[in-house]
């Protein structure tokens, strides 16, 4: 496709926007027009056959560490949609290799090249010259106080939609630091929705013209990048992209690292999703509509994300209070987990049966080669543990399944809260679940309350079928928790909430009359968390995380706790700290019960642990 800068500048839409910007900013038409043309020259890409073929060869070579496991389910339908409409592929973002891997899959199924939006930080000469001729659109990461650039981005996206081009970008704004899907950044999505709305308002637009979002999940068995990502998340400085960096990255791909798994979620019609979002929100305001569309996309990405053997093994090896596990103990932890996966029909990437010792050893060896897991065989039998200083990397793999287990973790903690309360058990469980939903709303994608209630009921029923009709009292809840063989909250939400508690405690100690430097507070809390880990006051080094602490600050800001205030603000900050502390203490109960299961200690049940508190 040869949509050039000159083609766009020649459109009446360009002239109209330059005129509007001139009036808005008070700058001359000539000045704004020159600036607008410069913006377009930065971003406009073409798809030239020779360059595209060369880029595809480069991409295949650079991603040579992996064989691709791509599900063809739904791709024929998606291809048929692409014959009539623009497709917008929206993958999660785990690796710099993501667009190269996705391209390898799509070219095999006859899709035309996507126009891929990426950060300007990756535009390194000479690769950037080839990339722009193969459809890569390099965009600025920040356009604050610059009305011209966003206006040209909307115009360019609108022109691409009119040409029925296919687009691709990573709407989390960057690679995940924790392994789970990042919250979406709304900027480009809003530009595209604005451009689409303007095209729909065009009386010359074809009737029924639509755009379809294609959610995509990309998951790797192992990743070279995870070590550097973990270093940055614990407070280290990111290595800037450069030719030297690219050379090192390319060399690292010579090592075989298993498979990369690509799955496609259910396509989402932009026309239908806009209509639904407007109906639910009762407004056409993009500030309300765009987040609802983004939320739907994120849920479809998560629903398409399969569970890897690495995720299951790291789940079992993390948060065991530093204890290594024998193969038999590891099987004991995995068995109820695999039963749960089968009961819920959750997607798996592999036919490997981790309940079989030989196949479990095979999966362990993969993590050992990567250095994430260590085996010690100098005793009576081999034992396995996460390697020292590799906890964040192990958590990265484990967190790829966190969204599948977060409702179970919430239900588990909410039932404990209900057992501590003096009121109706069912009502107390629901109230505690809502409180946890609010605490974790910047980490996970939760549906509306009605759907959330259905999910919580389903989780409790898996653990205790028919519980709501049994008129369980508080002792009955504890007995029900004693009888379960799967405890997850200490591994799934524990690290998040312990990191939040570090931030909340420091916030409660601050003078409410002094403004807060958020970056400085995060850095301070990283140091405090490291000290707490060394003093065994923190249960997992995963909580020493810049990303998690920034999530805690988002929540505090959402509750109005970062403002300057009086003693009332201090009281509210202390209540925030106390709420988190109570939740973390309940997670501690679950942790002790889980460790008792591993050690075969029938005396340490949840009932007995709760009575001794």
For residue 269, list its beta bridge partners. 212
Give residue 281's pLDDT: 66
Per residue, what are the HEC states of 509-544? HCCCCCCCCHHHHHHHHHHHHHHHHHCCCCCCHHHC
For residues 176 and 166, what is the distance between their CA atoms, to the nearest angstrom? 24
Which pLDDT does position 204 carry in this prediction?
Answer: 45
For the chain, list residues with pLDDT below 50. Answer: 201-205, 207
DSSP secondary structure letter of residue 400: G
* pTM score of the predicted model: 0.90
Alpha helices in 182-242 (DSSP H): 187-200, 226-233
The β-bridge relationship of strands 373-376 and 383-386 is antiparallel
Q: Is 555 exposed, middle or buried (0-12, 13-18, 19+ CB in 10 A)?
A: buried
The answer to whether 186 touches 290, Cβ cutoff 8 Å, is yes
The Cα–Cα gap between 229 and 207 comes to 46
Please give the CATH topology (third level) of the domain spanning 5-304: Glycerol-3-phosphate (1)-acyltransferase (3.40.1130)
Helix axes 402-420, 474-483, angle to 10 degrees: 140
Give the per-residue pLDDT at 492.
96
For 69, list phi and psi in degrees, rounded to 5.
Answer: -110, 100
Which residues pair with residue 385 across a beta bridge?
374
Residue (of 271, 293, 265) closest to 188 by Cα position: 293
> What pLDDT is stored for residue 1 in this prediction?
60
Answer for the pair 87, 166: CB distance below 8 angstroms, yes or no: yes
| 122 alpha carbon, distance to own chain's centre | 21
What per-residue confidence (pLDDT) applies to 455?
87
How many Å apart are CA 524 and CA 520, to the nearest integer?
Answer: 6
Q: Do 5-304 and 320-388 agree at the fold level?
A: no
pLDDT at 203: 42
Phi, psi of 262, deg, nearest 5: -115, 125
- Domain limits of the chain? 5-304, 320-388, 391-613
Residues 68 and 259: their CA atoms lie apart, in Å, by 6
| Angle, vertex CA 485, rays to CA 479 and CA 486, nearest 5 | 110
Task: Say which CATH topology domain 320-388 has.
Answer: Arc Repressor Mutant, subunit A (1.10.10)
pLDDT on residue 125: 65
> How far is it, in rounded angstroms, from Cα 229 to Cα 95?
10
Q: How far apart are the first and last CA of the chain?
A: 68
| Burial zone of 548 (CB within 10 Å; 0-12 exposed, 13-18 middle, 19+ buried) | buried
Which of 9-39 are b and which e, b meaning 16 or more Cβ less than 10 Å from the residue's Cβ?
A: beeeebeebbeebbeeeebeeeebbebbbeb
> Of 397, 613, 587, 420, nearest to 488 (Cα)?
587
- DSSP-derived secondary structure letter, 325: E
Q: Look at residue 466 in the predicted model and tell me its pLDDT.
A: 63
What pLDDT shows up at residue 145?
Answer: 77
Q: Is residue 481 helix, strand or coil? A: helix
Residue 182, CA distances (Å) to 91, 170, 299, 405 in order: 11, 10, 12, 17
**Number of Cβ within a 10 Å radius of residue 77:** 12
At 470 the pLDDT is: 60
Question: What is the structure's pLDDT at 144?
Answer: 72
Q: CA torsion 119→397→368→320, rounded to 10°?
A: 140
Q: What is the pLDDT of residue 208?
A: 55
Report the C-alpha gap between 125 and 123 in whole angstroms.
7
């Amino acid at each position: 496709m040869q949509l050039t800068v000159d083609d766009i500048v020649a459109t009446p839409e360009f002239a109209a926007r330059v005129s509007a910007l001139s009036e808005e900013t008070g700058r001359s038409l000539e000045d704004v027009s020159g600036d607008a043309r410069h913006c377009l020259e930065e971003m406009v890409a073409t798809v030239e056959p020779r360059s595209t073929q060369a880029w595809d060869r480069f991409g295949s070579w650079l991603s040579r560490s992996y064989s691709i496991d791509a599900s063809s389910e739904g791709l024929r339908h998606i291809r048929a949609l692409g014959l009539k409409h623009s497709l917008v592929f929206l993958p999660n973002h785990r690796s710099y290799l993501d667009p190269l891997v996705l391209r390898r899959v799509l070219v095999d199924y006859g899709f035309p090249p996507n126009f891929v939006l990426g950060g300007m930080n990756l535009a390194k000469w000479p690769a950037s010259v080839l990339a722009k001729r193969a459809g890569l659109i390099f965009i600025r990461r920040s356009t604050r106080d610059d009305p011209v650039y966003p206006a040209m981005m909307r115009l360019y996206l609108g022109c691409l939609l009119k040409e029925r081009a296919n687009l691709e970008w990573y709407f989390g704004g960057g690679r995940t630091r924790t392994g789970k899907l990042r919250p979406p950044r709304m900027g480009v999505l809003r530009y595209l929705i604005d451009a689409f709305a303007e095209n729909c308002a065009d009386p010359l637009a074809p009737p029924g013209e639509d755009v379809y979002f294609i959610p995509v999940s990309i998951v790797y068995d192992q990743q070279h990048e995870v070590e550097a990502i973990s270093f940055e998340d614990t407070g280290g400085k990111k290595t800037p992209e450069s030719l030297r960096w690219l050379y090192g990255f390319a060399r690292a791909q010579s090592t075989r690292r298993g498979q990369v798994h690509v799955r496609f979620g259910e396509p989402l019609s932009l026309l239908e999703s806009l209509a639904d979002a407007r109906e639910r929100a009762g407004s056409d305001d993009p500030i309300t509509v765009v987040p609802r569309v983004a939320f739907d996309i994120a849920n479809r990405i998560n629903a398409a994300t399969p569970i890897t053997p690495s995720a299951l093994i790291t789940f079992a090896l993390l948060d065991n209070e530093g204890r290594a596990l024998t193969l038999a103990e590891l099987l004991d932890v995995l068995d109820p987990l695999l039963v749960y996966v089968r009961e819920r029909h959750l997607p798996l990437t592999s036919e490997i049966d981790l309940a079989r010792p030989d196949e479990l050893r095979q999966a362990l060896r993969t993590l050992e080669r990567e250095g994430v897991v260590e085996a010690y065989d100098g005793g009576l039998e081999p034992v396995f543990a996460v390697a020292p200083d590799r906890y964040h990397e192990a958590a990265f793999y484990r967190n790829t399944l966190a969204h599948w287990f977060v409702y179970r973790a919430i239900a588990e903690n909410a039932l404990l809260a209900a057992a501590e309360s003096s009121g109706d058990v069912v009502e107390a469980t629901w109230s505690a679940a809502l409180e946890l939903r609010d605490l974790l709303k910047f980490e996970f994608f939760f549906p509306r309350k009605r759907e959330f209630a259905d999910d919580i009921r389903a989780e409790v029923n898996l653990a205790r079928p028919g519980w709501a009709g049994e008129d369980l009292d508080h002792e009955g809840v504890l007995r029900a928790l004693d009888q379960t063989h799967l405890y997850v909250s200490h591994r799934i939400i524990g690290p998040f909430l312990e990191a939040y508690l570090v931030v909340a405690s420091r916030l409660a100690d601050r003078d409410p009359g002094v403004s807060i430097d958020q970056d400085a507070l995060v850095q301070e809390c990283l140091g405090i968390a490291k000290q707490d880990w060394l003093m065994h006051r923190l249960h997992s080094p995963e909580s020493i995380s810049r990303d998690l602490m920034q999530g805690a600050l988002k929540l505090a800001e959402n509750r109005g706790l970062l403002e300057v205030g009086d003693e009332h603000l201090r009281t509210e900050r202390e209540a925030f700290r106390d709420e988190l502390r109570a939740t973390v203490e309940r997670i501690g109960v679950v942790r002790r019960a889980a460790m008792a299961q591993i050690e075969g200690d029938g005396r340490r049940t949840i009932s007995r642990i709760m009575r001794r508190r």
